[in-house]
Structure 1
Amino acid sequence: MKKWLELQQKLVPDLLEVLKRRHRILKVIHSLQPIGRRTLSQMVGLTERVVRRETDFLKEQGLLTFSSVGMNMTEEGSYVVREMEDVIREWFGLNQLEHQLEKQLGLNKVIVVAGNSLTQPWVKNDLGRSAVQQLKQWAEPNSVVSVAGGTTMEAVAQAMTPHPVLRTLLYVPARGGLGEKVEYQANTICSEMASRSGGQYRLLHVPDQLSKEAYASLLEDEQIKELIRIIRSARIVVHGIGEANTMATRRKASPQMLAKLKERQAVAEAFGYYFDRDGNIVYKIQTVGLRLEDIKQADHIIAVAGGEDKAEAILAFLKHGVHDCLITDEGAARQMLQYI
């Protein structure tokens, strides 16, 4: 395969660029259909003139349909995208990126999707689909899956589909999250995952940040105590990794807390813990839910995070030693290799 691809590039040097462009267009349409030309142009970073030419060609090939509400993928188009995946991964060097990161970071598994979610928001949909695919492979009937919050985890929830094993699972939030926007809260995401897959869920209705007194009081409640026991028994944990200042600001942290994070050089956040570049915990929120010691007891930990701006945060969290499977994108992967 590799030799054949090299010969193709020598004989038709512009073939790779044309293939990349058309594949990118098809992937965006597949993720966001129905979609208009103007929106598609913005998403793929091409002029409307180029997009018109390419989509007209793809329509002539029977891969797209046009309507008043936008463009949609045909069944043949979906088939072509699926069948091209292995070739695209080889040509884009994604397989090589995965092997490099597994070796450099000591991870059991790395999955890299094409693109950069920092500049191409639709790439998050691919991250979500890859996470769901991995969950299908690792999930065992009637087990507990603990799910964190965040924008990338929202994409995971949207990618869930009915599945024989997934519908037997119990989805629980990794932590309280009433300080977040509703759509990004772990409660919302785990209920959406359960709804789309046909599984069951339990919710944790507590604030994300608690005083010591409130924390101690909540732990006296029998229902909350039982739910926490279930959450901490999860065999699979699915979570995102955030950039420290971004996450603290989004959760409306106080000026004092923001100052502490800056002083302690925090670069990453996950599960209410903040980490510096070396993976040391430099700040911890008093929150109800999963602790790092609980996460380390899980059978599988799936981290889902992309975008070149997240590279430093991903590396910092992984240095703490909580790792199993990383699902990321090309932008973050290439940036991480530069930092290592």
Structure 2
Amino acid sequence: MRQILDIQKRLLPDLTDVLKKRYTILHHISSTGTVGRRALAAHLELTERVLRAEVDFLKEQGLLVTESSGMKLSESGRKLLEDMEPIVKEMLGLSYLEDTLRDRFSLKRVVIVPGDSDQSELTKKELGRVGASELRRFASKDDVIALAGGSTLAEVANYMTPTAHMKGNMFVPARGGLGESVELQANSIASIMAKKTGGEYRLLHVPDHLGEEAYVSLMQDPNILEVVEVIRSARIVVHGIGDAMVMAKRRKVDKQTIEELLEQGALAEAFGYYFDRAGQVVHKMPTVGLRLEDIQKTEVVIAVAGGKSKAEAIAAVMKFGHEDVLVTDEAAATELMRYV
């Protein structure tokens, strides 16, 4: 395929540009569900005249349908979009990036979506859609699936759908709550995924950031201990990756600890642990839920994180070496090449 695309780029460069434009239009409509032409033109930074011509063509091909609320993909459009994905990835160089990052970080799979989720909410939604697809790929019947919190994982939850092979799954939070918006907490994400897939869920009603004394006390509560044992038996873990200093502030970590994190070179945070540039754990929070030793025993660990600003943090967690799947975006992946 690569050779054919190279020839096409040299002999028919205009055709490549048209294909990218039409793919972008179909992809945007797919991500939003239903959209008006004016809103679509504004987002894609196309004039309404240019967009009208493209939309008319796509309608004539039976790829779009128009309703009172706006345009949406037909079944033919949805199928074509799926078929185009590997071609567009090859054209954008994403297939090369996927292969390179997979090999350099010794991962089972790397999946890259176009764009930069720092700049585009639609790219973040696409991260969620692909993250949900990867979870479905690896999940099996009666799995325990532990989930971290955050906005990216909330998007993954939004794209979960019922599947026969995920029947009987138990969704659990990877750890306690951060005290942030309810919809971004791991408890909420676990319950949403369970409801969308017809699975079950258990909740962990404890704060994430605990003092040593509070941690020891809580771990003696039989109800909490029962849930924690289920969490620590998870076959699959799905988590995001955060910038160390941003996450420390979100957790309201004290000034002394933040200074220690800076001195230790902490760059990234994932599942309550802080990592330096080499992927070494430099700090851990006394958190109720998954521990490092549980992650190391987990059969499938899926990281979903994107945005150019997170590239260094993603690289640090990948160097830790216990990830199996990375779902990221083009901006982060391109920047990641500096750290492999």
TM-score (norm 2): 0.93
Q: Distance in 2 between matches of 1:183 and 1:41?
A: 31
User: Aligned residue for 2:177?
Assistant: 177
1:125-145, Cα deviation, whole Å (9 max, x unpaired): 322222222222322211211
1:47, CA displacement in angstroms?
A: 4.7
**Aligned with 2:204: secondary structure?**
coil
- Single out whichever of 163-172 and 86-95 deviates more from structure 2: 86-95
- Contact 1:210-1:286 within 8 A present in 2 as well: yes
- Contact 1:267-1:316 within 8 A present in 2 as well: yes
- Give matches, 1:58-77, under 5 Å: 58-77=58-77
- Contact 2:105-2:321 within 8 A present in 1 as well: no
Q: Distance in 2 between matches of 1:291 and 1:194?
A: 23
- Contact 1:113-1:328 within 8 A present in 2 as well: yes
- Contact 1:305-1:328 within 8 A present in 2 as well: yes
Change (3 A) 1:5 1:185: same
1:204-256, Cα deviation, whole Å (9 max, x unpaired): 01011111111111111001111111101111111111112222333444444
Letter of the 2:126 partner, please give it: D
- Contact 1:179-1:209 within 8 A present in 2 as well: no
Letter of the 1:5 partner, please give it: L
The answer to whether the aligner puts 1:274 opposite 2:274 as a matched pair is yes
User: Aligned residue for 2:244?
Assistant: 244
Q: Distance in 2 between matches of 1:221 and 1:50?
A: 64
User: Aligned residue for 1:125?
Assistant: 125
**Aligned with 1:90: secondary structure?**
helix
User: Aligned residue for 1:191?
Assistant: 191
- Give matches, 1:193-272, under 5 Å: 193-272=193-272
Letter of the 2:301 partner, please give it: I
Q: Distance in 2 between matches of 1:53 and 1:182?
A: 43
In structure 2, stretches of 5+ residues that fail to align are none
The answer to whether the aligner puts 1:34 opposite 2:29 as a matched pair is no
Q: Distance in 2 between matches of 1:127 and 1:258?
A: 30
**Aligned with 1:14: secondary structure?**
helix
1:31, CA displacement in angstroms?
A: 0.9
- Single out whichever of 268-277 and 254-263 deviates more from structure 2: 254-263
Q: Distance in 2 between matches of 1:328 and 1:42?
A: 25
User: Aligned residue for 2:318?
Assistant: 318
- Single out whichever of 288-297 and 91-100 deviates more from structure 2: 91-100
Q: Distance in 1 between matches of 2:258 and 2:52?
A: 47
- Contact 1:63-1:75 within 8 A present in 2 as well: yes
In structure 1, stretches of 5+ residues that fail to align are none
User: Aligned residue for 2:81?
Assistant: 81
Q: Distance in 2 between matches of 1:274 and 1:147?
A: 18
Q: Distance in 2 between matches of 1:91 and 1:318?
A: 26
Change (3 A) 1:103 1:178: closer
Alpha-carbon RMSD: 2.0
1:25, CA displacement in angstroms?
A: 1.7
Letter of the 1:309 partner, please give it: S
1:257, CA displacement in angstroms?
A: 4.2
Q: Distance in 1 between matches of 2:166 and 2:41?
A: 36
1:186-219, Cα deviation, whole Å (9 max, x unpaired): 1011111111011110000101111111111111
- Contact 1:311-1:332 within 8 A present in 2 as well: yes
- Give matches, 1:144-163, under 5 Å: 144-163=144-163
1:23, CA displacement in angstroms?
A: 0.9
Change (3 A) 1:52 1:259: farther
1:308, CA displacement in angstroms?
A: 1.5
Letter of the 1:201 partner, please give it: Y
Change (3 A) 1:74 1:336: same
Q: Distance in 1 between matches of 2:161 and 2:331?
A: 27
User: Aligned residue for 1:287?
Assistant: 287
User: Aligned residue for 1:12?
Assistant: 12
- Single out whichever of 237-246 and 128-137 deviates more from structure 2: 128-137
Letter of the 2:138 partner, please give it: W
User: Aligned residue for 1:96?
Assistant: 96
1:48, CA displacement in angstroms?
A: 4.8
- Single out whichever of 89-98 and 328-337 deviates more from structure 2: 89-98
Change (3 A) 1:317 1:178: closer
Letter of the 1:232 partner, please give it: R
- Single out whichever of 4-13 and 48-57 deviates more from structure 2: 48-57
1:280-327, Cα deviation, whole Å (9 max, x unpaired): 223322211001110110111111111221110000111122211111
Letter of the 2:29 partner, please give it: I
1:92, CA displacement in angstroms?
A: 2.0
Change (3 A) 1:76 1:104: same
- Contact 2:143-2:166 within 8 A present in 1 as well: no
Change (3 A) 1:162 1:89: same
Percent identity at matched positions? 51
